Structures are given as structure tokens and as C-alpha cells.
Amino acid sequence: MDRRDFFRTFLKRTGIGAGITAAGAVGALGYYQPRREVYVEEGSVSDDLSGEKLERPKKAVIVGGGLAGMSAAMELAKRHFEVTLVEASDELGGKVTGWDVDALGERFPVEHGFHGYFDQYYNLNELFDAAGVGDVFTPAPGYPVKFRDRPMEVFGQTPKLFPLNILTVVQQSDSLDMIPIMQHFRQMRPVLDMFRYDYDRTFAQYDDLDFMSFCREQEIYEPFLTTVLHPFSDATMNRMEVLSAAEALRYFHFYFLGSPEALGFRITKKSCMHALINPVVEMLEGLGVRIVSGTKVERLVLEENRVSGVVLGGSGGGALARVPRGSVREGEWFSMTADDGVPLLVTIRGDEYQAFDATCTHMGCPVRPDETTGGFFCPCHAGVFDAAGNATSGPPEEPLQRLHVALDGDELVLSRPDSGAGPEVLECDYCVVASNVSGTKAIIGRSDIGDTAFARSVASLGEADPYVVWRIWLDKPVTSAKYPFYTVARFTYTDSVSIFSHFQEPFISWASRTGGSVVELHAYAIAPDDLRSDEVIKQTMLEEMHHMFPETKDARILYDVYMQQDNFTRWAPGDHADRPVSETPYANLYFAGDWVKVDAPVFLMEAATFTGRLAANAICRKESLKPTPLPIVPMDGIFA
């Protein structure tokens, strides 16, 4: 099909040729209108799947208390399973969790970072509805994109009808005028091809290519690339240069091009932990779910082709690692990782060897020595420990575990103190591993996996580049900020800005009383070449905030929480083919998480919730129980 025929077909199918009014009345309401669907699971249609609940309870252990684990736990508990949910952190919620900090004489909630909740988060919204979260959301007034070197673009609410949704985006943008787009139609044709998303074809054709190369090879119209594709794709937490083009096409299909919902999202009026996670936890407890928090899973017990139990870690003795004696020096921390992935720190103080399990007791991130205090610091969530390992600030409540050090010739043997009892083992009829990438890899790596192909599949999972969340209390208001949230483009680090004192309590009240403001800066994914010390990154992001909001140059930072983490899933070119799916080679073991390979058009928080329910449905089918319908946006693009 040549350019004229393609464009003629596009006009004919969408009704644009008859005018926007006609398009809304005829074309957009026709065959090509995206509609909400229900995911068709293999084996979901069967006369045998008629049961509602188990007659006799069976034991299910869920590993990981994020959205995937909580959704799986809810579905199984409703079916009369005896569910135990194990979470390494003190709190459930995963990346939506939060904690409180004492600052400026008050107590404030802090979380992983700003979250937007889209209408097409069908499964996630059903989880929240089941928990009765109530009136905790408010619509975001727009989707502004701030650029370093040109005026801001604002994409507001768009119509749900195709093609009015697309035309509205173009109409709202000063740099996407229709006339130059028509003049550069050849460079816009690949954008129209994005409406042809089809799982099998898209991943077969584009998964080995990064999204930046895809845009360059397709010669996509540069203003559309820089105004829309680049800023929005950064929100995957993966840089365009290392993001699979197929995953990017699925992402855009899910969030806008194939979604029946408008381009808009909601934000919470109080912290995600208080607004959303606490009600979900209460709902799970009301269903009889046993929650074991602050406890890591050591490994799975495998017998023949099944998981018979889940071993909880940190309760028994035994050697963790051997360290060459000459590697440890007075006053210097020697850092290493044990064979089972546990980070370790050992030093000499006086005449005594001292060693710690360097795993933060909040969410399991590795801590590092803090030279200024002589203690330890967790960069993930700003946890602070003193020299004895006691938690002194931030979200951790428990101390670091002190390790026993014994001499054996020229080696130091590091081991956990023997509690006098063996590790606790949770027996199970079914097991769902719903941890994040690093947690899943560690658990499977410590388990006696006989299926080498399966073990390699899990080991191939990766995490995206580090990201930064920096929440700042300022002594002056950000008067030029008219929106609560900004996507940011063309800066070294900053990718988004959230003005919490504009939309969330208790920050609104604090700002009203003090005349200050609370701002959160995000760096979604920091390229290896851009990694610097925390102080350099903070200084650069501060200068970038001053550039965006000049009035902040005169503001003092009264308090801040700076976090650097690397726990988002990597969607690199070629990753998809080797990803593990929900059902595993072990008859009663299932996976859930946004990293699980699925053909459904889901992403981020919705992918986590969807796969949690998917795993629960697979277990229900094993027990001849009726599965839960899983709503999704259309499987295919409008022109697929």
C-alpha cells in the first residue's frame, strides 16, 4: 500500500474525511473503536469449573506482599484456601508501600514515589474496590510536560472515542500542528502503524530492537518523538536506548492507543499506604489471610515435581561465608556477598572482629557504611543505623543482625547466631512466588532446582537502571507550579516533579500553616555514564528544579528524604523470549509479578495485579473452581 492509498484507507476507516463531527458520530463509534475485553485463559472454559469454594481448605503460601501477592492472596482466600502471605518488609504494598518519618516536629508519610492511577487499571481498581478504599482519589487536572529548552506542553483530558482522542492530543500541542504533520506524513506513518499492535507479530518483529533505534529507523517525525514518545516512554522506568521496542509498543497500546479510556489518571488525596494499602491489608486479614511480615524466604523445599514447603530465613545458625583474614583491616569495612546473595560487612574494632548481615531490616536493601557517623545507611529508603547496628532514623525498626566471627586458620568464618532451633518451614499445597526480580532470583537460586532451563529463565531476569526519588520540604511556596505533577524532558536527571503540597495531606495543611512547600523530584532511570555520588546528583537535580521553577532559588531546604533504588523490572531487547511464565515446571508452583511473561496488554501496577489473579486462577482450575474474569484493554490494536 503506497502513501496515498494508506492515508485514504485511514481517512475512510476512521471517518476523518467526513469531518471531526462525522468522525465522532460514524467512524469513532464503528468497528475500530477500542473496547474493554475479558482475557481468555487457556483451560478457563470447562464444564468442570463450577465450584465457588473449596469444601476442605488447602494451604497456599504467597511469597511477596506487593500488588501481585496481595491480589493472589485475596482471590485464593475468597475460595476458602488457607493463605499465608510472607513479606520481607515490615509493611505490605511493594512499591506502593510507605512509612512515616519524624520531621520538623511532625510526623509525615513517605513512599517510594508518586503514583498515578489510570482508569484502565481494571484489575487493580477491582482490588481496591474489594477493599472498600472509599473516596481517596482526585482526578489529575492535566498531563503537563516540561522541557528544558522550549515551552511546556499540556495534554489534558481527551475524549474516549477514536480518533478524537488522537486528534485532541495533536490539537493540545503547540508543536504538533496538523499541517506539518500532513506535510511529514511519511514520518508519521510508523506512528499510525503503532495502532497495529499484535502480541505475536509485534514481539517477533521488534523485541530484539531498542525503542530509540525503532524510532530512528522508522524515521518518526522528530517533534512527535521528542514531545510524546520520549517523555512518555521514560515512565516505563527503562531508558529508550535500552527498552525493547515491542515492550514500548505494548506500553503505548495499553496506556493510550488501544485503551478505551481517556488520557487521564487519578491521584490519591493521602499517602498510598494510608489510602490504599492499609485497607487492602485489613481486607486480607478479614478473609483470614495470615500475614508474616518482616521475614525473608530462604528457599523452597522441592520434592519430586512439587513444592512441599517454604523455608523462612534468618532463624537458624550455619556458616554464611569464609573471608580471607588478610582482607579485613582495622577500621575499614570489608564488603562481600555470600553465596546465597546475602550482603556482608566485616571489620576489626580494637581487638575484636565485628560483622553484620548488611540487609536493611526495612525492605531488604543492602546498607553501606556511613563514614561521617561510623554507622550504616540504606540509600533505598534513607534508613540510618548506628555503629552497633541499631536503627536510629528512617523506616527501619529492627537492628541489623550481628554475625558470629570465628577463626579457622587464615580465614574468618561468618555465621548467624544459632537460635537453638531450625528454620521455620511453611507446608503448602500450592505456592505463588510474587516477589520482585531480585527476590525471586535469590529464592530460586537458593532452592534445589533440578530443571536447568527453568533456573536459567529465572536467572535471566534483570532490573532497570537505578532511579532516584528525592522529597524536599522547602520554606517557600512553588508559586509557578499550576499542576500537581509534571513529566520532565531533556534534563540530566529529573524526569518528573510532584508538588505534594498541592494535592495530598498532610502536606497541604503543613504548607498552609508554614508558607512552605513539599516537592518530590524523580529520576526514572539513570544511565551508567551519568551515575555520580549522591551529592552530585542532588545538586544537579536541585539546579534543574530551579530552572523549572525559578522562585525556588531563594528557598531553603528544611528537610529531605533522598532514595536511590534499582528494583524496577528491566524490559531490555531480547528479554521477553526467556521470561518465565506464570505456570512453572513444578505442578503447584506459580509466578506473579510485572516481570512474568504474558500475552495480555498490561503494564506496571496493572501487570502485577493481573498476574497475581492469573496465578490464583490457575490454582482454582486445579481444584475445579470457577476462575475470576480478568478484564483487559483490547488484545490487539485498532488496525491489527
Query: Domain 49-140+264-313+425-460+585-640, CATH 3.40.50.720 — does that match?
Result: no
CATH architecture group of domain 465-565: Alpha-Beta Complex (3.90)
pLDDT tens per residue, range 345-404: 999 988 889 999 998 888 778 899 988 888 999 887 888 999 999 999 888 888 998 998
Contact present, 398 and 294 (Cβ < 8 Å): yes
- Average pLDDT of the residues in 542-547: 98
The amino acid occupying position 233 is S
Contact present, 245 and 508 (Cβ < 8 Å): no
Beta strand pairing call for 137-139 and 290-293: unpaired
Q: To the nearest whole percent, how much of the chain has pLDDT over 90? A: 63
| Neighbouring residues of 43: CB distance < 8 A, sequence distance ≥ 6 | 621
If you search the block for the grid coordinates 545507611, which residue do you land on?
377
| CA–CA dist 238, 604 (Å, integer) | 12
pTM, entire model: 0.88
- Average pLDDT of the residues in 62-69: 98
pLDDT value, residue 550: 97
Contact present, 89 and 97 (Cβ < 8 Å): yes
Q: Is the pLDDT confidence value at 557 over 60?
A: yes
Beta strand pairing call for 143-147 and 485-489: parallel
Distances (CA, A) of 480 to 282, 283, 457, 483, 502: 40, 41, 49, 9, 12
* Percent helix, strand and coil across the chain, each to the nearest 5: 35, 25, 40
The sign one gets for the Cα dihedral 125, 127, 128, 130 is positive
Q: What is the mean pLDDT of the chain?
A: 88
The amino acid occupying position 435 is S
pLDDT value, residue 12: 45
Contact present, 368 and 376 (Cβ < 8 Å): yes
Distances (CA, A) of 29 to 15, 17, 196, 503, 632: 10, 15, 18, 36, 20
Helix axis angle for 185-193 and 3-14, nearest 10°, is: 50
| CA–CA dist 262, 14 (Å, integer) | 17
Report which DSSP code applies to 263: S
Helix axis angle for 437-446 and 452-459, nearest 10°, is: 150
Domains 49-140+264-313+425-460+585-640 and 465-565 belong to one CATH topology: no
If you search the block for the grid coordinates 554475625, which residue do you land on?
403
- The CATH code for residues 315-359+400-422 is 2.20.25.680
Helix axis angle for 122-131 and 278-286, nearest 10°, is: 70
Helix axis angle for 604-622 and 67-78, nearest 10°, is: 30
Mark out the alpha helices in 173-274 (DSSP H runs).
Answer: 178-183, 185-193, 199-206, 211-217, 222-224, 230-233, 245-252, 272
What are the residue boundaries of the structural domains of the chain, listed by start?
Answer: 49-140+264-313+425-460+585-640, 173-261, 315-359+400-422, 368-395, 465-565
If you search the block for the grid coordinates 506513518, which residue do you land on?
189
Contact present, 537 and 490 (Cβ < 8 Å): no
pLDDT tens per residue, range 482-501: 999 999 999 999 999 999 99
Assign 508 to helix, strand or coil. helix
**Residue 271: how many other CB atoms lie within 10 Å:** 25
Q: Between residues 572 and 156, which one has the greater pLDDT?
A: 572
